[in-house]
Structure 1
Amino acid sequence: MNSLSRRFLISVGLMSLVVTILGSIGAFVVFQQELTNRQISYLSDYVRERSSNIDKRFTNLSNLHKAAGVELERRMNHLSDADVERLTDDYFPAKGDGTRRSRDDLFDGHLTASGRWVYGIGGFLSQADTASIADRRALTAALSVVSDFGQAARSEYDNFYFFQAKPTRLVMFGPDRPDRLMFYRHEAPASLDVSKEEMAQITLPRNDPPASPAAPTCSA
């Protein structure tokens, strides 16, 4: 009798243990599934938010690019030939090697006669003596546009620039660059050619049909 009772109690105990183990496993599986679902949901929300932010960033960049192009054209139309000659000499002094490069104080910080604070600018003009009045008009107007738009968008984009690929002529706003734009301001060879660089390739008509040849290009 005692043996039967003992067997019964053992069987009940084993059954309880099995039920407890199975219940624990079931609870763990349910918890794990819930955790997985939450993680998937969180990642999905993150991806959607990230995609939305990227789309917004590119939309803002496109709008900034278009606005800069319109403003560049407006400022070019208000520059006389005499203004262009004077500003070219002022902004981009000749360096004796066929190039013109921006003055150092345009990067370090310069208060203009009209009270505008210009900073973070680096400019490089190769084959400067062959630049037409139209080219120089675009470059002198671009300096003020690049400065104004670059400063306004500094929190979103780390540089903003205007360039002509061949021959290489550019004006760049990049005050936070660790190189302080020294390459363009002082170190670049007179023969510098950026026509094969990515920044030139992506603005070719076949790669960017809506782009305007005279419009500044900005990069994030």
Structure 2
Amino acid sequence: MTKINWKSAGITFLVAVGIASIAAIGGYVTAREYFADKLRDDSAYQINERVARQNVLFDDVRAISYAAERSFLRRYNAIADADVSEEFNRLFPPYGDGTRRSDPALYDGLTLENGDYVYGLGAFISDVDVPVERQRRLLAAFHTVRQHGEAINPRFDNLNFVTQFNDLIIFAPQRDDHLEYYRMQAPADFDFQSEQLAQIVEPQNNPTGQTACTSLSRLMYVADGSALTTGCHTPVRHGGHHVGAFGITISMQNYLANAIVDAEPNSENMILSREGDLIAHRDLLFLDVLTADAVSAANQEARAGHLAEIIRHDGRSTGVVTSDDGRIVAYARIETPGWYFVTTRPVWLIHSRASQIAGMIFVFSFLGVFLQHIVVGLYRWQRRWRIDQGRKAGHFARA
């Protein structure tokens, strides 16, 4: 009986392994390039789709602010020579501490002399003796805020008007605090000019009067630093002078959470300012209290400053780059606030997918080569077996 040649089988095994390894390496290189291009293309497509949706939100903010500015200027010009002190004193009576506050009924609900109904409105005016020109501005702002605020609710749950004199008029009927801070609790020396919301609309910082948005910052009425939000404000200029700004405060949880949660597997979404401050991130969602410490920790976890530096260095409004810490970074600019929507994916995804392809190539190549040699070996073994059988038959015939 013909014996199996184990040495030949071992050589066949090694040859199959060698050929399969070479094929797998070639397949890995090709697949890696393919998946790298595909991941970049997919990332670029998805980031532009996401930013288009975010731009709708901020386009709405800009359109609302523009409409409010037009309404304000029409009202302001209409009362340019009017004596408005009676209405002003009725709506914003002295509070007894050197300031004026809104009549409580403006929040609870009040029917005006013209039959119109007002609710959900609060105001803080930093002086008792208010010059007539400033009275006109504040009355024009009051009527603009109440009408436009109600019109945009609940798409946006607030609209405010602020001035460089620390005057604030706000429509926000759903606020849990009922605007009591501004209407009752704020100290007489309440000053928000150092806040970013005031800085971004100052002529020296915003000479062209564009809508601008703050980084994450605390609500002014929340003293412990919780309830972080962003505010988008549009300055109002009249006769070459800055007279105030209309703004909308946007809660990250309310308006940006869906964009962050809706992430592809093995990817992470975030929104950054140009300076590298996190506007929205998964670590900031669904917290009972959103504090400055939580924001700082999330910034470090996401390496937000490093990502912002990469984006600034790249110089485009949208693109896909690779970071030095092993991430594919897709980004696109959200125009109105000047933020960036960023999606990151680990580079190992490319290697993982390419390795899977290479593994399959190795298995099929090995089986193909090895089985081919087995088939050839069996054919040769069978042939030798027949020859041996023939020889044995001839021997018995001669015998």
TM-score, normalised via structure 1 length: 0.78
Q: What SS does the corresponding residue of 1:216 show, helix, strand or coil?
A: strand
Query: Which structure has the larger Rg?
Result: 2
Residue number in structure 1 paired with 2:91: 91
Residue number in structure 2 paired with 1:48: 48
Offset at 1:142? 0.9
Residue number in structure 2 paired with 1:207: 205
Q: What SS does the corresponding residue of 2:169 show, helix, strand or coil?
A: strand
Offset at 1:104? 2.8
Q: What SS does the corresponding residue of 2:85 show, helix, strand or coil?
A: helix
Residue number in structure 1 paired with 2:9: 9
Residue number in structure 1 paired with 2:125: 125
CA distance in 2, matches of 1:34, 1:152: 51
Given the superposition, is the C-alpha separation of residues 187 and 18 from structure 1 closer, same or farther in structure 2, using an over 3 Å criterion? same
CA distance in 2, matches of 1:109, 1:16: 85
Residue number in structure 1 paired with 2:309: none
Letter of the aligned partner of 2:168 in structure 1?
L
Letter of the aligned partner of 2:132 in structure 1?
I
The answer to whether the 8 A contact 2:75-2:140 is kept is yes
Offset at 1:70? 2.0
Residue number in structure 1 paired with 2:142: 143
Given the superposition, is the C-alpha separation of residues 176 and 25 from structure 1 closer, same or farther in structure 2, using an over 3 Å criterion? farther
Residue number in structure 1 paired with 2:190: 192
Offset at 1:125? 0.8
* Structure 2 unaligned residues grouped into runs of 5+: 210-236, 251-399
CA shift digits 1:2-54 (9 cap, x unpaired): 67822212222333344455556665666565554443333222332344445
- 1:217 paired residue among 246, 268, 277: 246
* Stretch moving more, 191-200 or 37-46: 37-46
Identity of aligned residues (%): 29
Offset at 1:64? 3.0
CA distance in 2, matches of 1:14, 1:117: 89
Q: What SS does the corresponding residue of 1:62 show, helix, strand or coil?
A: helix
After TM superposition, the structure 1 = structure 2 runs for residues 34-183 of structure 1, keeping only pairs within 5 Å, are 34-79=34-79, 81-82=82-83, 84-112=84-112, 116-129=116-129, 131-155=130-154, 157-166=156-165, 168-183=166-181
Offset at 1:210? 3.0
CA distance in 2, matches of 1:23, 1:111: 82
CA shift digits 1:114-162 (9 cap, x unpaired): 5644333220111122x11111111112112012222333455453221
Name the count of aligned residue pairs: 217
CA distance in 2, matches of 1:124, 1:94: 10
The answer to whether the 8 A contact 1:65-1:215 is kept is no
Letter of the aligned partner of 2:190 in structure 1?
L
Between Structure 1 and Structure 2, which shows a larger proportion of strand residues?
2
TM-score, normalised via structure 2 length: 0.47
CA shift digits 1:191-219 (9 cap, x unpaired): 22222222221111111113312353213
Letter of the aligned partner of 1:132 in structure 2?
P
Given the superposition, is the C-alpha separation of residues 4 and 122 from structure 1 closer, same or farther in structure 2, using an over 3 Å criterion? same
Offset at 1:57? 4.3
Given the superposition, is the C-alpha separation of residues 116 and 29 from structure 1 closer, same or farther in structure 2, using an over 3 Å criterion? farther
Given the superposition, is the C-alpha separation of residues 25 and 182 from structure 1 closer, same or farther in structure 2, using an over 3 Å criterion? farther
CA distance in 2, matches of 1:15, 1:105: 91
Residue number in structure 1 paired with 2:346: none
Residue number in structure 1 paired with 2:289: none
The answer to whether the 8 A contact 1:98-1:190 is kept is yes
Letter of the aligned partner of 1:12 in structure 2?
T
CA distance in 2, matches of 1:105, 1:164: 23
RMSD of aligned residue pairs (Cα, Å): 3.2
